[in-house]
Structure 1
Amino acid sequence: MDWGKGILLTIFGFVAFIMTLVVISVRQDDIHLVTENYYEKEIKYQEQIEREKSAVGLDREVVMFDASSKTIYLDLPVGAKGSLQLFRPSDARLDQELPLDITTEGKTAIPVEKLKSGYWRVQLTWTENGLEYYEEKKITI
């Protein structure tokens, strides 16, 4: 075999390899964006920063996770309203959003033992005394 045939076989092999990668990537159907409305959330990011600063200014930890009982505890006052989003970065189909309306004193317990085990982000957005707050906690179930 001479140099010309070797170079030609190398080029054909490379093209076949690249075409195989293209076919594999096109056939993937399990691709999820982190969030559906990513660009809208990016535009409103300054508001999110203000909510986070407000939450840091509180003198208590609002979101707590007990791994042994697989329970999330929320320390919110009576009258607080908001939403708790259980966000699974690896699979958007497992995400859940729970509305919150606190009507009783004490910590609110939310059991999460039915969630698929793995890495989760707990994102709490709430309104308390007319101010908006946001806190996020990373947990592993």
Structure 2
Amino acid sequence: MKVNWSTGIVIAIIAFIGFILFMVITMTTDKNYNHDLVTDQYYQKELQYQNNIDAIKNAKQLKHPIQIIRSEKGLKINFPKDFNPQEIEGTVFLYRPSNKQLDLEIPISLTNTYMLVPENHLLGGRWNITVAFKYNKTPYLHQEELTY
């Protein structure tokens, strides 16, 4: 059977369309390509963005900044030593970009000037850590990326 130019062009176009359909179906059904928004309340968080900017500015002006240190027992979050630990209120949010089921939000309750997140809650990989707290009605926000 002899294939002329017009038949070859039609076969090439059909093969290209088939390839594109295969890629579209693969990308929409494969769980490896599932990318969700960072948060479900994206627009509500966007409206609070100026408050976050002010809280970050407050955190940068501290004499003793917040430190996040990886230790043998887990993740140690050091708060300023001149703060009274019982008056610190807030949360620590651990966001895992690769898997939303691993995200953690832990309320801050301190007896010392540090908080320990146990190692069994943290898998190896990248974590975005957000420490949001209030002390004497002043908001503070510290954000850091960490590879654990």
Which of 79, 84, 88 pairs up with 1:80?
88
> Which position in structure 2 is the counterpart of 1:66?
70
Q: What's the C-alpha RMSD, in Å, of the aligned pairs? A: 1.8
Which of the numbers 120, 132, 138 marks the counterpart of 2:127? 120
Calculate the TM-score normalised by the size of structure 2. Answer: 0.84
Paired residue type of 2:39: T
TM-score of the superposition, structure 1-length normalised? 0.88
Give the structure 2 partner of residue 93 of structure 1.
101
Q: How many residues align?
A: 140
Is the CA contact (8 Å cut-off) linking 1:87 and 1:120 kept in structure 2?
A: yes
Q: Cα 1:67–1:140, aligned 2, differ >3 Å: closer, same or farther?
A: farther
- 2:77–2:115: 8 Å Cα contact kept in structure 1? yes
Give yes or no for contact 1:71–1:113 (8 Å, CA) kept in 2.
no
- Mark the runs of 5 or more structure 1 residues left unpaired by the alignment: none
Shift in alpha-carbon separation, 1:112–1:63, aligned structure 2, 3 A: farther
| Aligned amino acid, residue 58 of structure 2 | S
1:121 CA drift (Å): 1.1
Residue type at the aligned position of 1:126: F
| Identical aligned residues as a percent | 27
Moved more, 19-28 or 85-94: 19-28
- The runs of 5 or more residues in structure 2 that have no matched partner are none
In the aligned structure 1, how far is the partner of 2:52 from the partner of 2:104? 20
- Where does residue 106 of structure 1 map in the other structure? 113
- Relative contact order higher in (CA < 8 Å, ≥ 6 apart): 1
Q: Which residue is 1:15 aligned to?
A: 17
TM-aligned CA deviation for residue 68 of structure 1 = 4.7
Q: 2:26 aligns with which of 14, 24, 27?
A: 24
Is the helix fraction higher in 1 or 2?
2
